Structure 1
Amino acid sequence: MSFSLTGKTAIVTGSAAGIGLAIARHFLAKGANVMFADMDETRLGAECAEEAKAEGALRFFGGDLREKLTIANLLSATIDAFDRVDILVNASRKMQPSDPLNPDEDAVELMWQQNLMTSLRLSQMTAKRMILQAEKAGSSDGVIGSIINMSSIAARRTQPQLLGYSISCAAVEQMTRSLAVALAPQRIRVNAVSFGSVMSDSLHGAIKENPDYREAIASATPLGRIAAADELAETVQYLASDASSFMTGQIVTLDGGRALIDAANAPAH
């Protein structure tokens, strides 16, 4: 089986910065047509405008993906540009501290909408498009699409200050399993990556404010370091490619072994 993405079309949400941007750029370098999508239209345009002029395989779409109409427009823009969609990476996510004793600051609803519901709605609409294009092509065997969700080891850790984020990640993992079973007869695979400390924008900012944070994270991780965003992107590539064609409903953990020891006082990232 091949890890190649050549000729495939992918939508990558959250691709204006950080992990989503790393995944989208990695896919582009591996030969995929990529629709970069994000809620931050200004930042997305700044990252993609010049590249889009020179690279025909790149398009970008900005808008509030929590809205159903925006999701429909994203799919339409992808089909207009590339005629099809084969891969969806739900990398749009938000991590915000919670106060479990203050309903006005618990962040649960915000995390639920952006980390779970956006991914669920886009997955449902994209799956319908994958099924339709397979029917039009007369395809009757083989995988017709791959959906990859982003989760976190926070789904299995108990950190009250991350109440909303942890709940949303746990829900994303159950959504992944449920959609995998529901879409298996349609030949669409659904998997997720649960990651630990990856050098995202938020983590980079936290380390800049507190340089000791890097060592604290390294000490809580058996492999003794923070992962690069490209390492996560390579794992996502595997799940998107034909190399994982018999794999669905799985939560792949990429955390340097951190969840194996799960120190109670370990940093949130």
Structure 2
Amino acid sequence: MSLSIQGKTAIVTGAARGIGLAVAQNLVERGANVVFTDADEEGLDRVVSDHGKDNPQVLDFPGDICEKLVMANLLSATLDAYDRVDILVNAHRFVKGSDPLDTDPGILEEMLRQNMIAGLRLSQMVAKRMIKQSEGQPDIVQAGSIVNVSTLAASRPVPAMLGYSIACAAQEQATRGLALALAPHRIRVNGVRFSSIMSHELKCALKEDVDMRQQIIDGTPLGRIASADELADAVHYLASEGARFITGQIVTVDGGRSLADPVTAQDL
């Protein structure tokens, strides 16, 4: 079973911080060419500088992927630099609370646009390129891999963040639908659902609530909060040919939390 992604080209969204950054760095370390993209231009420039501006494995592309033109330019920049794209990781997330009994339609629309629609559109665009570049290669096992990142909110409701929960659930259904549609083209689509992971949002929440860390640890069977790198390892596996017969699946990386404790805003 080969987990190698040496020489592959990946696009990672939300790559300026947190989980998206951990995923992008993980893929670089494993030998892939990686396009880091995020709307946070300053943050993106800072993290890419850490790899060296002249590193041929790394390309930064600042921009709001919710905009269709930005998506198209992102793909064009990737092809200009590396001539192909083999892996897409939709790690961009936008989290905001909403009143479960009086949800502002604007917030709900924004949650769906940021957390599901943008990733779906980018996946469709990238998939078309994957199909094109695999033409005339009937013997290849994998023409491409797409991995979507979500949270336990997708399957277990968080009333205080109803809009976000709905968007995460929609994203996971889009993962399954695309997996079925793209399977004949040898493109796999999977998801990674997380909790008890040190995301950017959790770091911010822990600063506000000193008791939260122990609450999470107590509610996690494996008894700790995992690093973002541990989730990145799961993404790497799903992106590699080691997972070549896995598609349409949502892998939960939560230390067993979903088995033992009600999901709360701490898990996002």
**Taking structure 1 as reference, are residues 217 and 50 closer, same or farther at Cα in structure 2, changes over 3 Å only?**
closer
Aligned identity (percent) is: 57
* Residue pair 1:106, 1:164 contacting (<8 A) in 2 also: no
Q: Where does 1:149-188 land on structure 2 (aligned, <5 Å)?
A: 149-188=148-187
Residue 50 of structure 1 and its aligned partner are, at CA, apart by 5.1
Residue 171 of structure 1 and its aligned partner are, at CA, apart by 0.6
Task: Give me the TM-score of the superposition, normalised by structure 1.
Answer: 0.95
- Post-superposition, which runs of at least 4 consecutive aligned residues in structure 1 deviate over 6 A? none
Q: Per-residue displacement from partner, 1:121-180 (whole Å, max 9, x unpaired)?
A: 000000000011112xx2112210000001111111122101011101111111011000
Residue 54 of structure 1 and its aligned partner are, at CA, apart by 3.4
CA distance in 1, matches of 2:266, 2:47: 30
Amino acid at match of 2:145: S
Matched positions, count: 267
Structure-2 residue corresponding to 1:207: 206
* Residue pair 1:36, 1:58 contacting (<8 A) in 2 also: yes
CA distance in 1, matches of 2:146, 2:197: 21
Structure-1 residue corresponding to 2:8: 8
| Partner secondary structure for residue 198 of structure 2 | coil
CA distance in 1, matches of 2:96, 2:264: 18
Structure-1 residue corresponding to 2:22: 22
What stretches of structure 1 of length at least 5 have no aligned partner?
none
CA distance in 2, matches of 1:63, 1:145: 24
* Residue pair 2:231, 2:253 contacting (<8 A) in 1 also: yes
Residue 263 of structure 1 and its aligned partner are, at CA, apart by 2.7
CA distance in 1, matches of 2:53, 2:267: 39
* Residue pair 2:13, 2:38 contacting (<8 A) in 1 also: yes
| Partner secondary structure for residue 34 of structure 2 | strand
**Taking structure 1 as reference, are residues 24 and 102 closer, same or farther at Cα in structure 2, changes over 3 Å only?**
same
Amino acid at match of 1:248: T
Amino acid at match of 1:164: G
Task: Give me the TM-score of the superposition, normalised by structure 2.
Answer: 0.95
| Partner secondary structure for residue 193 of structure 1 | strand
Amino acid at match of 1:7: G
**Taking structure 1 as reference, are residues 139 and 261 closer, same or farther at Cα in structure 2, changes over 3 Å only?**
same
* Residue pair 1:216, 1:266 contacting (<8 A) in 2 also: no
CA distance in 1, matches of 2:191, 2:262: 24
CA distance in 1, matches of 2:264, 2:132: 49
**Taking structure 1 as reference, are residues 264 and 178 closer, same or farther at Cα in structure 2, changes over 3 Å only?**
closer
